Amino acid sequence: IGIRLADAGVVAGRMAHDFDNILTGILGFADLAQPMVAPGTQAASYLAEIAKVGQRGIGFTQQLHAFNRSGDAKPTPGSVAATLSREETRLKPINPPTLKIEKDLPLNMPAVAMDAGPLQIALGHVFENAVEACGKIGHVKVSAKLAESNETDARAFLGKVTPGPYLIVSFADSGPGIKPEVRKRLFAEPFYTTKVRHRGLGLATAYRIAAAHRGGLMIEAIPAPGTGTIVKVALPLAVSRPSISTPTPPPANAGLREESVNPETTTVRG
């Protein structure tokens, strides 16, 4: 998985660079043309639409750049509580009023070995997926706890988790869960998604960032199919940061000391 995503990251970076050049021309000439047309005319509305589509294109290339850079790691102490607060604020305007977000975060959480930018991208993608999975009615519970992993525990995660202390951030949603055939494709095919308005990359980017920082990501088994999804992100503590190396896929039949994972029932959301 790690090698496939690294190759996809290189391709994504080159594509993003080429699209940046194209979008620069499109948006640049649209800006130059705007003063030449009268406000309120049909031509002005066309130029406004060109600019709007161009901005959406920039958003897409930013995702490609983020995916390409997600394999790089320059760990500095980062605050999970501050990151989750920023992401909750960012998602609030798009959340349905009937959606409930519950947080169970311990006081004085230790800093993790991920600086603010990558940490926000990784947790933000998982948080947003949980919110979107619920639809108009549902709830998302975000929690965190310290866990001491051994070698068996560490293999439960996709990434590069090693024995030692980690902060485990969990996102549990009340959505419909994911079918087994979809689950198998999400990490093997980083652009794969079941969402009409999205282009994948979210979980793949979160995985690459966590793995590059000696962390990992796990999709936990739930009591019954169709009753939601639980995603756990393991983040190394800043006070005991191990060396960084290329992420490797875990073997099957491994789980956290707190809870075991059954690969046959594990659910994944794209």
pLDDT of amino acid 263: 34
pLDDT score of 262: 37
Residues 263 and 229: their CA atoms lie apart, in Å, by 14
DSSP single-letter state for residue 137: S
Q: Which pLDDT belongs to residue 182?
A: 72
Q: Long-range CB contacts (< 8 A, 24+ apart) of 84-93?
A: 84/123, 84/127, 84/142, 84/169, 86/120, 87/120, 87/123, 87/124, 87/127, 87/128, 88/127, 90/124, 91/127, 91/128, 91/131
Residue 169, pLDDT score: 95
Tokens of 193: 């998604």
- Tokens 């947790």 -> residue: 123
pLDDT in the model for residue 34: 87
pLDDT tens per residue, range 191-227: 666 665 555 566 777 888 888 888 888 888 666 666 7
Q: What SS3 state is found at 248?
A: strand
Tens digit of pLDDT at every position of the chain (270 positions): 554 555 565 666 677 677 777 888 888 888 888 889 898 899 889 998 898 888 877 777 766 666 656 555 677 788 999 999 998 998 888 888 888 999 999 888 899 988 788 888 889 888 988 888 888 888 999 999 998 988 888 888 888 888 999 999 999 998 888 777 776 676 666 666 666 555 556 677 788 888 888 888 888 866 666 678 889 999 999 875 444 444 444 444 334 434 333 333 333 344
Q: Which two tokens stand for residue 99?
A: 């959606």
Burial code (b: 16+ CB inside 10 Å, e: under 16) for 83-93 equals bbeebbeebee
**For residue 26, which phi and psi values (nearest 5 degrees)?**
-60, -50
User: Phi and psi (nearest 5°) for 234?
Assistant: -95, 125
Point out which residues pair with 233 in neighbouring strands: 169, 217
